[in-house]
Homo-oligomer: A and B are copies of this chain.
Amino acid sequence: MSSIDTPLDLTLDGGALTARLVDFPSVSGDEQALADAVETALRAYPHLRVDRYGNNVVARTGLGRAERVLIAGHLDTVPIADNVPHHIEGDLLYGCGASDMKSGVAVALRLAAGLTEPNHDITYVFYDCEEIEASRNGLGHLATAHPDWLAADFAILMEPSGAMVEGGCQGTMRAQITLTGTRAHAARSWLGDNAIHHAAEVLGLLAAYQAREVEIDGLKYHEGLNAVRVDGGVAGNVIPDECVVTVNFRFAPDRSVADAEAHLREVFEGFKLEITDSAPGALPGLGQPAAQAFLAATGGQARAKFGWTDVARFSALGVPAVNYGPGDPDLAHKRNEYCSLAAIALVEERLRAWLTD
């Protein structure tokens, strides 16, 4: 049987190559062996220039085409949960990363090996540490160290999207709203000022909040403003002097991070509010010619991406980007994660048609 010491064979069909990749453990932080195998396999193809930075591998055609398309996939997975090696039941290939996103990586590797004369120049990016803290994200490291390697007119992230184009992504912002009061013994509560009671108004604003829905480039976005944590209390006999409500605002990509912060400060006017982290959204960019052609080639249907993805990194670099991959987004990170073999074949076929028509 194959093992991590067996070279990757990029002539296997998409399903078989996905199975091979699932059986090649690469939990976040432990991608080196797989990055080595990917690099070695790609270096066998003379139409590609292969570069490496850390455990990130970038392969590019250099045909002088008018436009360059970037196809990217992360090599890492969430921790294995008794779901390696893979197994197949009918059309479904089960295993860690089957959906998120070794099926997408398999398609990208197949295209890289097979498309010697594509109609656009293509940059293939295989990167590490997508599933963990943003500071370790390989795409982020490449953007800092070798931004020229990521130059492109349009980018496709092969994240699980159910073989449907998902455009843009919503931004996310977390903030802490701190209510203060005065501590006292609960037996003489009138000597204190209960900070938890002050949170009533904040939670009331959240409960009554009408989240905006907005259409951008034909895609419908749906915002959300929610408490994700509330924490207050000193002891069972003490009037608490502090209560913190942590909120998470998911905002449509027509708002910048600054707009989102201004909105939160307006909603919670008069309260002490501190932004603890944020990430911008990404506009779908489906008005771009390359995106239009891609969309037509993949069936003409697109939907909004609500979750935050690395699409936003490309957006920040000025590269319109979409998610398009064979995996099912609802299965990502689940123990029974699987991918449809038919979806793997379909996504490859459509990309191949678009890039060679």
> Contact residues of A with B, CB < 8 Å?
170, 172, 174, 185-190, 194, 196-201, 203-204, 206-207, 211, 222, 224, 226-240, 243, 245-246, 248, 250, 306-308
Contact = CB atoms under 8 A, between A and B. Distances in A.
A43 to B, nearest CB: 38
B224 A228 contact: no
Contacts of A194: 206-207, 226-227
Contact of A246 (B229, B236, B245, B308): B236
Nearest to A209: B197
A187 B194 CA distance: 32
A190 B224 contact: yes
Contacts of A233: 227-231, 246
Given A204-B200, A246-B236, A226 B307 contact: no
A186 B224 contact: yes
A187 B226 contact: no
B203 A197 contact: yes
B240 A227 contact: yes
A166 B238 CA distance: 22
Contact of A196 (B196, B227, B238, B307): B227
B199 A203 contact: yes
A246 B226 CA distance: 22
